[in-house]
Amino acid sequence: MRSQLMKDPYKTWNPQRKMYETIQEKYGKVFKEKLQLENFICAAELNLEECQQGAKNLMVASQSTDFRMRYWGKVILNRTIL
C-alpha cells in the first residue's frame, strides 16, 4: 500500500490520459450524440487494448434503439471473469 502511495501520480496517470484521449478521438462523438454519455471510465487494471475493446463494444451496442433509449451519464468498464 505504501509503495502505491509513494508513486508519482503523473507517471501513473500519463499512460491512462493518452488512452482516454485515443478513445475520445475515436468514439467521443458517438458516445455524446447517441448515448448522451458524459463519463467513460476504465478500471485501473484494464490495459489499453481492453479499454478500447470495451469502447468499441459500447459503440456497436449504441446502434440498438433500445440501448439508446436509456440515459447513460456514466459507464465504468470492469474486467469480469465468468
The one-letter amino acid at 53: Q
User: What is the mean predicted confidence (pLDDT) over 65-72?
Assistant: 83
pTM: 0.74
Domain map (residue ranges) of the chain: 8-77
Query: How far from chain centre, in Å, is Cα 16?
Result: 10
- What percent of the chain shows pLDDT beyond 70? 89
pLDDT at residue 5, as a whole number? 61
Q: Which residues pair with 77 in a beta bridge?
A: 42
**Integer CA distances (angstroms), 81 to 3, 14, 41, 46, 78, in order:** 27, 27, 19, 13, 10
